[in-house]
Structure 1
Amino acid sequence: MAKLTVKELEALREADHGKKLREDGGLIGTVRAGTGGVSVYFDWRYRFEGKVKQIAVGAWPKLNIAAIRAERDRLRVEVESGSDPAERRKAERLKAKADQLEAVAEQEQRITELAAQQARLSVRDLFERWASVDLIRRRDGGKEIRRMFEKDVLPLVGAIAVEDVRKGHITGVTDALLARGVPRMAKLIFSLMRQMFRFAVDRDVIEGDPTAAIRKAKIGGKDVERDRVLSEDEIRQLAAQAPLAGLMPTTEAAIWVALSTCCRIGELLAARWEHIDLAQGTWWIPPEVAKNGKAHTVYLSDFTKQQFQRVKDLNSAAPWCYPNRSSTDSVCEKTVTKQLGDRQRQGKAPMSGRAKADYTDKLVLPGGRWTPHDLRRTGATLMVALGVLPEVAERCLNHTEENKVKRIYQRHSYEAEMRQAWSLLGERLDLLTRTDAGNVVTLRRA
């Protein structure tokens, strides 16, 4: 058998597929014809320990024939030295496969570890998930709750894995608030943490709620339901004191709008001019603004329209009745509450950056501390004292009817009755807030 030449190899055609080529020195080539052209795969046949064996030495034209012969000669030296190249290659392939399997196993273990780490959500991670699913749907997009958590919860427990949270971690948060002298805030934040952990239970993030074993009543004592109602004498006094309290004019107007409409202060501060028609005397509160998610129409008395006009004269350039400083959104719903509270700090130092010392007692009334929500209660109470049916007053408050049968079958809108109720309340407040209000006779409820 002579040596194969390049010309012989280049002369091969598809018809030669499967043909065997032989050359001195044990080279055997097999012709393969494919889409890429004709190739010849060479093996070297040799004898080792009395057995005939065969091993691949390269393919033409990927390797030239000289390189293929060189590989054969290198393997021949290996055989002559007592080593079987076929067994060596087999061992190398097995080692490479083992290394590959080991690498895959290491990668799978790493993936498992990463999955376990991801599964161990921290409290901060849980809060972000809760915020993106639940809080985002709340009226302010969860901004106020985020502020509270960033201040009083996450600095203490944010880095802890959710599944590692225990009763002591929860009480650690509430105890810090109680030590600060804010028991109502402690209760509120506890309720919010309970909502968050129940959210986690519902989604199988954790099996049990760590707040479940804690009684809310044990945090800061038992809740006392507020029943503060301003008397007519106090309303007269408030009308006299408010202009001297250093309030923003829009805040002063907010007092009277809240009192004359029985609205929630958050609903007023989020109101937009597009929903207020002073000519028609209506204010539509959309469901995304209403606390109970139920749209509500307020029929404005002349007294209320005057207050809204005061606000509009100052804030008509923005879409909101009460815009923030940059006019990018409405103000925080705590804005008015803080301003009123700052002016009821009789005997206490003014809070830093808030109302000046000259104003800290300007809104103090004989009946004790009052809040914007007490104005809502006061307005409804005045309505009933003026002869408005309690059921109509409840409608003006936009309360949801608790009786399911009434909700389903009693569909009367009470529009006329509600208009009259707000009108009566506005007329009474107009009398009480006049400079000659001292001549107004105080209503007494039977």
Structure 2
Amino acid sequence: MKVSRTREPGLYADGGGLYLQVTNAEARSWIFRFMLNGRARSMGLGSLHTLTLAEARSKATECRKLCLEGIDPIEARENVRAAARLDAANTITFDACSEAYIEAHRKGWRNPKHADQWRNTLATYASPVFGPLPVQAVDTGLVMRAIEPIWGDKTETATRVRGRIEAVLDWAATRGYRQGENPARWRGHLQNLLPKRSKVQRVEHHAALPFTEISDFVRLLRAQAGTSSLALEFTILTAARTGEVIGATWDEIDLAERTWTVPAERMKGGREHRVPLCDRAVVILKSFRVLGDRYVFPGGKRGKPLSNMAMLELLKRMGRPDLTVHGFRSTFRDWAAETTHFPNEMVEMALAHIIENRVEAAYRRGDLFAKRRELMSEWADACYLPRRVEK
């Protein structure tokens, strides 16, 4: 009767560490206070609406018995709950966890295609081995069965699959669906079972045109008609990546200042990149400005950019299937290194490469834009002036 009538906020002792905690007239609950290893702790037992005085006393007695054995009743309760979560996780498969992980991270990925790439690689290599199994059952042996067969022949793919499995298992552990070490972890674990990536992966460079042939190639390129040819010419002049060019929008272009500013979210390195535009690049842009499309290089459908395969298909039509669009960045890099005196860091900035050395990156705060304009102007001259033939 006393318990039911107590409304004044405060702590009311029942004895043996049991207290009725009254926050307000409607919020009343039981707590158990105890000392263990010199540390004072409080443990919530439940609401007065749920537990009667007799039931609260019974729970307090159980807690005192645990304390007598040197066991923290709070930790004991958490262990019971964790075991219950693991039992429930026996019905949660790796496939279900991977799908949940993808959905949870989809909005954080810059490229919408990343979700499909994650889904496809895991479905191809992980799901056939342990996809239908409980996520708690995934162990080192199963992970090895998924990635070891492709580690030598498809090292890049195998590396990505391993990393994605590791991420899904970490997510599952955080959600309480599994316990223990991550069997897909590389450092200190799988690195002991698999050869280093550098030992088995053959380095494949993008097919690049020798810089001595660039003016001849550009002359043939300008004889081609269509958006793809102008987009490729612009790509060569700016030493940009395919995705940066085809995704370019007019709000990134300043024709008056002859500058193209690519926002951080569209850059591989996640940092804004300013590109100086030479005379020919400006002419190319002006020829598209009259179309009134959002994208600088529009695709077949209005409001859509040029396909990421358009320039590569153009190379094939020109009889140069041996080349790649990305390879022209290497052409530019080789030309700068072998025929100019521009410093290496300036060329790296023109290519928007990430500076690996943190100390160097901290001191290099500017982007050498004015000097890079000179660099890109000389590159344009190399692309259009006839090649000198030494006698």
What is the Cα deviation at residue 395 of structure 1?
1.5
Please give the alpha-carbon distance, in whole angstroms, between the structure 2 residues aligned to 1:337 and 1:148: 26
Residues 415, 177 of structure 1: alpha-carbon distance in 2 compared, 3 angstrom cutoff? same
Please give the alpha-carbon distance, in whole angstroms, between the structure 2 residues aligned to 1:196 and 1:216: 23
Q: CA RMSD in A?
A: 4.2
What is the Cα deviation at residue 293 of structure 1?
0.8
Contact 1:269/1:322 (8 A) holds in 2: yes
Residues 413, 232 of structure 1: alpha-carbon distance in 2 compared, 3 angstrom cutoff? closer
2:57 is matched with none
Pick from 98, 103, 121 the counterpart of residue 149 of structure 1.
121
Which amino acid is the alignment partner of residue 371 of structure 1? Answer: T
Structure 2 segments unaligned to the other structure (5+ residues): 1-82
Please give the alpha-carbon distance, in whole angstroms, between the structure 1 residues aligned to 2:382 and 2:300: 34
What is the Cα deviation at residue 283 of structure 1?
1.0
What is the Cα deviation at residue 331 of structure 1?
6.0
Equivalent pairs counted in the alignment come to 302
Q: TM-score, normalised by structure 2?
A: 0.61
1:375 is matched with 328
> Any idea what the Cα deviations from partners look like across 1:79-137, whole Å, max 9, x if unmatched?
xxxxxxxxxxxxxxxxxxxxxxxxxxxxxxxxx97884357543333333433444532
What is the Cα deviation at residue 215 of structure 1?
3.2
Q: TM-score, normalised by structure 1?
A: 0.55
1:249 is matched with 226
1:209 is matched with 182
Which amino acid is the alignment partner of residue 319 of structure 2? Answer: K
Pick from 123, 128, 138 the counterpart of residue 165 of structure 1.
138
Residues 128, 404 of structure 1: alpha-carbon distance in 2 compared, 3 angstrom cutoff? same
1:320 maps onto 2:295 in alignment: yes
What is the Cα deviation at residue 191 of structure 1?
4.2
Counting only pairs closer than 5 Å after superposition, residues 396-435 of structure 1 correspond to structure 2 as 396-431=350-385
Residues 399, 114 of structure 1: alpha-carbon distance in 2 compared, 3 angstrom cutoff? closer
Please give the alpha-carbon distance, in whole angstroms, between the structure 1 residues aligned to 2:120 and 2:222: 33
Contact 1:255/1:375 (8 A) holds in 2: no
Residues 134, 336 of structure 1: alpha-carbon distance in 2 compared, 3 angstrom cutoff? farther
Contact 2:211/2:331 (8 A) holds in 1: no
Residues 386, 219 of structure 1: alpha-carbon distance in 2 compared, 3 angstrom cutoff? closer
Residues 144, 272 of structure 1: alpha-carbon distance in 2 compared, 3 angstrom cutoff? farther
Please give the alpha-carbon distance, in whole angstroms, between the structure 2 residues aligned to 1:244 and 1:183: 40
Residues 271, 397 of structure 1: alpha-carbon distance in 2 compared, 3 angstrom cutoff? same
Pick from 221, 241, 244 the counterpart of residue 264 of structure 1.
241
2:388 is matched with 441
Secondary structure class of the residue paired with 2:260: strand
Please give the alpha-carbon distance, in whole angstroms, between the structure 1 residues aligned to 2:258 and 2:312: 29
Counting only pairs closer than 5 Å after superposition, residues 221-300 of structure 1 correspond to structure 2 as 221-224=200-203, 226=205, 229-236=208-215, 238-239=217-218, 242=221, 249-300=226-277
Pick from 140, 149, 154 the counterpart of residue 111 of structure 2.
140
Secondary structure class of the residue paired with 2:384: helix
What is the Cα deviation at residue 153 of structure 1?
4.1
Secondary structure class of the residue paired with 1:263: coil
2:59 is matched with none
What is the Cα deviation at residue 393 of structure 1?
0.9
1:45 is matched with none
Pick from 311, 320, 329 the counterpart of residue 363 of structure 1.
320
Residues 167, 390 of structure 1: alpha-carbon distance in 2 compared, 3 angstrom cutoff? same
Please give the alpha-carbon distance, in whole angstroms, between the structure 1 residues aligned to 2:389 and 2:290: 33
Which amino acid is the alignment partner of residue 326 of structure 2? Answer: H
Which amino acid is the alignment partner of residue 234 of structure 2? Answer: V
Residues 409, 199 of structure 1: alpha-carbon distance in 2 compared, 3 angstrom cutoff? same
1:127 is matched with 98
Secondary structure class of the residue paired with 1:372: coil
1:41 is matched with none
Q: Higher Cα Rg: structure 1 or 2?
A: 1
Please give the alpha-carbon distance, in whole angstroms, between the structure 2 residues aligned to 1:155 and 1:219: 27
Residues 411, 240 of structure 1: alpha-carbon distance in 2 compared, 3 angstrom cutoff? closer
Structure 1 segments unaligned to the other structure (5+ residues): 1-111, 344-358, 432-436
What is the Cα deviation at residue 313 of structure 1?
5.9
